[in-house]
């Protein structure tokens, strides 16, 4: 284990050289060891065959089948030369068989196994043949296990990349919804106040001043929230402003009141702890609904009701306006539904059934 940890810190180019050259050098060294330690003057043929059986392993990944047969042919010539140590020289073939099983197709693997085992049975005695067959079969099994492990690792990496892409897509969609809500709300308040300002500028200077103050406040609030979003996009480091949550709804109501729509808040039941994403969604959904009231409803009053239940929060936003669907296709209402569904909740919107106006009903899990 310690050796593996040391190997992992080796630079990748050096690691690639070690992987390519390590096994061939090790096979050659092991099979040359009897030549160097027994103190006899062996024929050069044995040295050449041992090296020839190890050299093809350099290409065991690029051409595993050719490496296997080249190594086996060299091994088969070991006893046809001069005096050499009595030793098995099949190590190169075993390593090459592992590579064939790990990196070749099914047909190539079957051909390699049949030829290797069949040739062994024909060329050597029963005892040696049995031992060789067992070793080649074990190398083949380990090669298939290696291939399965690599395929599983590649599949898991692919799944990780797909999930990362999906997470990034979800995050982009969330940021787009947040920016839509922030800008839509701020611009709506500013437009309403800007339209009212010139009308009351001479008749009621105090009211005109309040309108311009409301424009400035809405602009500042939008800038603060947009800076927070852009800071997340620029870097993961540094301080971040918290996202507005359900506790910030009173301030949201003040902004809408400044736009000329009276907003009432009521809460029933015992407040429960909300997940951070649910708390933010509650704010954004209410913000979008009130923005639609300012932009499209022509309402004089809107009511926000929070109904805390055993396992959920019910949010109702109603107004006394025209009661029709928002102009422009209702993209904000689609965002309301997407936010609710993303948190495990539900949302619906439409004209009020019992009186003029529009309502948005949302259930969020607590």
pLDDT, tens digit, 9 for 90 and up, residues 288-319 = 888 888 877 678 888 999 999 988 999 999 98
Q: What is the predicted pLDDT for the residue at 317?
A: 92
| Cβ atoms of residues 282 and 315 within 8 Å | yes
Task: Report residue 285 as tokens.
Answer: 């959904």
Burial of 298 (0-12, 13-18, 19+ CB in 10 A): middle
Q: What is the predicted pLDDT for the residue at 343?
A: 82
Question: Which distant-in-sequence residues (6+ apart) come within 8 Å of 150 by Cβ?
Answer: 102
pLDDT, tens digit, 9 for 90 and up, residues 56-112 = 989 988 888 888 888 888 887 877 777 778 777 778 888 888 888 888 888 888 888
Q: Report how far apart, in Å, the C-alpha atoms of 188 and of each of 65, 285, 360 are.
A: 72, 16, 19
The residue among 132, 44, 56 whose CA lies nearest residue 83 is: 44
Highest mean pLDDT among 68-82, 92-106, 211-225, 232-246: 92-106
For residue 237, pLDDT over 60 is answered with: no
Angle at 354 between CA 351 and CA 360, to 5 degrees: 35
How far apart are the C-alpha atoms of 247 and 147, rounded to whole Å? 55
Q: What is the predicted pLDDT for the residue at 11?
A: 66
How far apart are the C-alpha atoms of 94 and 158, rounded to whole Å? 32
pLDDT (average), residues 11-37: 81
Instruction: Read off φ and ψ for residue 302, nearest 5 degrees.
Output: -130, 145
The residue among 218, 216, 217, 213 whose CA lies nearest residue 183 is: 218
Q: What is the predicted pLDDT for the residue at 357?
A: 87
Q: What is the predicted pLDDT for the residue at 361?
A: 92
In the chain, the domains with their CATH numbers are: 2-123 (no CATH), 163-365 (3.30.565.10)
Task: Report residue 75 as tokens.
Answer: 């091994």
Q: What is the predicted pLDDT for the residue at 113?
A: 84
Q: What is the predicted pLDDT for the residue at 38?
A: 79
How far apart are the C-alpha atoms of 237 and 215, rounded to whole Å? 32
Q: What is the predicted pLDDT for the residue at 125?
A: 61
């Amino acid at each position: 284990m310690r050796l593996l940890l040391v190997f992992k810190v080796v630079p990748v180019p050096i690691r690639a050289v070690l992987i390519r050259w390590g096994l061939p050098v090790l096979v050659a060294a092991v099979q040359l060891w009897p030549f160097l330690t027994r103190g006899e003057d062996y024929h050069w043929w044995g040295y050449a065959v041992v090296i020839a059986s190890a050299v093809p392993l350099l290409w065991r990944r690029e051409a595993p089948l050719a490496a296997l047969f080249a190594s086996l042919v060299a091994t088969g010539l070991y006893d046809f030369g001069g005096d050499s140590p009595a030793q098995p020289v099949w190590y190169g073939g075993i390593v090459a068989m592992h590579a064939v099983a790990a990196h070749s197709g099914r047909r190539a693997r079957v051909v390699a196994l049949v030829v290797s085992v069949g040739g062994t049975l024909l060329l050597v005695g029963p005892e040696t043949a049995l031992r060789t067959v067992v070793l080649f079969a074990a190398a083949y099994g380990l090669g298939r296990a290696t291939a399965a492990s690599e395929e599983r690792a590649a599949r898991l990496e692919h799944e990780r990349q797909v999930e990362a892409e999906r997470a990034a897509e979800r995050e982009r969609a969330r940021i787009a919804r947040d920016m839509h809500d922030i800008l839509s709300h701020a611009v709506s308040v500013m437009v309403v106040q800007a339209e009212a300002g010139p009308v009351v500028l001479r008749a009621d200077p105090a009211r005109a001043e309040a309108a311009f103050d409301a424009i400035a406040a809405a602009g500042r609030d939008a800038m603060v929230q947009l800076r927070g979003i852009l800071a997340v996009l620029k870097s993961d480091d540094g301080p971040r402003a918290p996202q507005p949550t359900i506790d910030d709804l009173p301030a949201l109501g003040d902004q809408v009141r400044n736009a000329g729509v009276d907003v009432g808040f009521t809460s029933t039941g015992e407040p429960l702890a909300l997940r951070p994403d649910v708390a933010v969604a509650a704010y954004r959904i209410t913000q979008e609904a009130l923005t639609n009231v300012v932009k499209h409803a022509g309402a004089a009053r809107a009511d926000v009701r929070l109904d805390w239940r055993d396992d959920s929060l019910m949010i109702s936003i109603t107004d006394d306006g025209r009661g029709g669907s928002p102009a422009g296709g209702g993209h904000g209402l689609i965002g309301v539904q997407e936010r609710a569904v993303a948190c495990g909740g539900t949302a619906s919107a439409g004209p009020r059934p019992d009186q003029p106006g529009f309502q948005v009903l949302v259930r969020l899990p607590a």
